[in-house]
Structure formats: structure tokens, C-alpha cells
Amino acid sequence: MEAVSLEGRRAWVTGAAGGIGAAICARLAEAGAEVVATDIAMSDALAELASRVPLVFKPFDLLVDVQLEACADDIERSGADILVNNAARFDMGSVLDADLDQYDRVFGLNVRAMYRVMQAAARGLVRRKREGSIINLASQAGRRGEALVAHYCASKAAVISYTQSAALALAPNGIRVNALAPGVVDTPMWDRVDALFARHENLEIGEKKREVAAANPMGRMGNPDDVARVALFLASDLARYVTGQTLNVDGGNVLS
């Protein structure tokens, strides 16, 4: 089997400052891709990575329409052979208390911005007559609803559906579109998730993290590089006949 090489390809990664985003940037850059990372602001993890590998950082807030359009225009104009749609927002609330403001924020980033950025990357590839790989970050939460996570679960289910539709639409152009569905991954975002569960379920801080780790078939939470390795596979020619799929990266939480 050939070594994984992304030499000569430009990869855009949204939500790059988070744990999973920075890990994906690292894997793509180490494989030779020219990485363009975008987020609201640079994180320590991303800054450290930029000191070791070639990486361009561009700040965009994808919940602000003018910045979303600026990001999309940049991607379409400059070209993205690989797009990793990782920017996402988590919030908690059942159908009794998750209001429409929360809906607008969660769907605005997880679905609306995801779709617009995917569209821009696809248009750029078609115009340049280039094949490419688009990877959308879904979640195990998109596989089924959860009582306290109504909007987030629904938003990630929408990511899976858009991935399938885009894969079918773009297959004639040689553009592959897949999704990743991480399970519980130990990142700063999950510290926030843990705190929200502590408040809603009257738990101690850290208790939810311990609970989900113990319940996992592999006996642990994932780490960002577990997800980044699968993103690298989907970005590469090793996955040249894989499209329209949502790959679970969850230690066996969801069997499909």
C-alpha cells in the first residue's frame, strides 16, 4: 500500500483552533498538504503547530454573514483540494427549554455555515476541473436524538444528510464527500459539555467524562488524533472509492 501523501494539495480546515481541528491540521500538514486553518482566533495548540509546519491562519467568524461569505469566497477563489468542515457549536437543552435563539446559533454554525463552505469548495473544484475530498464533521449525536441535546443532535443529523446529498451530486465531478462521526473525544469542548451535564443532571464536574469513558466498549474517551487519522485517510487517495459515507470514530459506541 502506498504511503499517504498530500503533496501539491491545498487543505482548508474550519474550526481549526479546537482540539480535533488542530489535530487534523497537523496530520494533513505532515502528509505534505498546504494547510489553511480558519477559526475565530488562533489557539495555543494551533500556534505551536504553525511553528513546526507550514500553515496559514485566517480568522473568520462563520456565524457572521459577511465573514462567512468572505471565507466562502476565499475558498472558492483560491481553491481547496481538501475541505474539512469542522467548525461546530454545542449547546444543551430539551424540547422544553431549548429555545429558538439556541437553535439559530447551533444550526447557524453546524448546518448553515457548513453547507455554505462545502458549496464554495465544490464550486471551486468544479470550475478548476479538479477532483477533491470534502469531509464534514458530524457526531455520534447525529445518529439518534438525546433528551438533553435536541438542537445539537438534529444539527449533526442534518450534516449526515447533506453529506449524502452532496456526495451523489458531486460524484460525476470526481469530488468525494464523506463525514466523520466522532464519539466522546477528550477536548476542551468536552470539558464544557461535562460542565453542562453537571448543571443539568446535578453531577460533579468530571463525573460525566468518567461515565462516558467507562461505558465505551474500548474503555476510554477518544483523543483528537484518533479522529485526525481517519480524516487523513478520507482526504487521501487511499479512500478514492469512498463517498457518501459517515464513518464512526467512537470506540464502538455506535454499530452500523
254 found inside a domain: no
Is 110 found in the same domain as 209?
no
256 found inside a domain: no
Q: Does pLDDT of 27 surpass 60?
A: yes
Question: What phi, psi does 228 have (nearest 5°)?
Answer: -60, -35
Give the whole-number percent of the chain exceeding pLDDT 70: 99
Question: What phi, psi does 152 have (nearest 5°)?
Answer: -65, -45
Residue of 103, 152, 162, 241 marked catalytic: 152
pLDDT digits (tens, 9 = 90+) for 140-164: 999 999 999 999 999 999 999 999 9
pLDDT of residue 54: 87
Is 161 found in the same domain as 83?
yes
- Tally of structural domains, the chain: 2
* Whole-angstrom distance, CA of residue 136 vs CA of residue 45: 21
Known active-site residue 152: yes
2 found inside a domain: no
Query: What are all long-range contacts of 224-228, with beta carbons under 8 Å and residues at least 24 apart?
Result: 224/19, 224/20, 224/22, 224/23, 224/24, 224/185, 224/186, 224/187, 225/23, 225/26, 225/27, 226/182, 226/185, 227/20, 227/23, 227/24, 227/180, 227/182, 227/185, 228/20, 228/23, 228/24, 228/26, 228/27
Is 106 found in the same domain as 191?
no
232 found inside a domain: yes
Query: What are all long-range contacts of 98-101, with beta carbons under 8 Å and residues at least 24 apart?
Result: 98/150, 98/151
Is 176 found in the same domain as 131?
yes
Q: What is the mean pLDDT of residues 164-186?
A: 98
pLDDT digits (tens, 9 = 90+) for 102-137: 999 999 999 999 999 999 999 999 999 999 999 999
Q: Does pLDDT of 1 surpass 60?
A: no
What mean pLDDT, rounded, does the chain reach?
Answer: 96
pLDDT of residue 2: 63
Q: Does pLDDT of 56 surpass 60?
A: yes
Per DSSP, what are the bridge partners of residue 222? 185
pLDDT digits (tens, 9 = 90+) for 77-106: 999 999 999 999 999 999 999 999 999 999
The single-letter DSSP state of residue 3 is: P
pLDDT of residue 4: 93
pLDDT of residue 3: 81
- Domain containing 159 equals 10-183+223-241
